[in-house]
Amino acid sequence: MKKDDFGFNNEELKILRGLNTPVKIQDFLNSLKINFEPNGDTCMSPRQVLRTKKAHCIEGALLAATALRMHGHKPLIVDLEATHDDDDHVITVFKKENRWGAITKTNHAVLRYREPVYRDIRELVLSFFHEYFLNSNGKKTLRTFSKPVDLSRFDKQGWMTSEKDVWFIPEYLTQIKHTKILNKNLVKGLRKADPIEIEAGKLLEHSMGFFK
């Protein structure tokens, strides 16, 4: 095994090495089916995602980080935390020309790919804020975000090629410090999404569920 193979087989390497730009990685994630977890909660490794050809947000983020790593980038993810009545979201972040962008796996028409035009992580995260609302009532729910997490910290646990779910990653994300986006007074003054925005928010890529 070569050092940059990371334990992947030839078939897996062929796919990952072909994903040599953030745009190609995002297009590949879009081609995967949404993992609606019909048999219970999962947090599949990149190897499992390649095998099953499906993913939800964190599974897609891990695969995207792996593909970026294959091409010399650090495998970085950022955790976005919402209020208790909404889902959190995990994005893969990358830098180009000293600007940040993001790759995401989502079932929605929004919370998607971000071009590398943002000066820092906070600015990148805030680009998701107005789109992050409940379809039931328009409540804007994004509240905190983490610093970029370098997934190489989990190399000894074999996170990229594990045959078992890699729950240690989301568990770690729940334990690390998150930065608040707004205070209580700003929360009270938030305007709900317009009806037309809510209607647009109901657009789904796959119709079986509502995973971000």
Checking DSSP bridges between strand 89-96 and strand 76-82, what pairing results, if any? antiparallel
Gap between the Cα atoms of 206 and 152, Å rounded: 32
For the chain, report the end-to-end CA distance as a whole number of angstroms.
Answer: 36
Residue 63 tokens read as 């695969």
> What domains are defined for the chain?
3-201 (3.10.620)
The model carries a pTM of 0.95
* pLDDT for 3: 59
Instruction: Go through the chain and tell me how many residues it has.
Output: 212
The more confident residue out of 207 and 111 is 111
CB 120 within 8 A of CB 133: no
Give which of 68, 70, 65 is closest to 149, Cα–Cα: 65
What confidence tens digit (pLDDT) does each residue in 112-143 have? 999 999 999 999 999 999 999 999 999 999 99
Average pLDDT over residues 32-36: 96
Per residue in 141-151, pLDDT tens? Answer: 999 999 999 99
Q: What percent of the chain has pLDDT over 70?
A: 96
Supply the pLDDT for residue 2.
Answer: 55
In contact, 94 and 103? CB cutoff 8 Å: yes
54-55 and 33-34 strand pairing: parallel
Q: What are phi and psi of 140, to 5 degrees?
A: -85, 130
| DSSP H or E stretch at residue 27 | helix 22-31
Please give the structure tokens belonging to residue 76. Answer: 């970085």
pLDDT digits (tens, 9 = 90+) for 72-124: 999 999 999 999 999 999 999 999 999 999 999 999 888 999 999 999 999 99
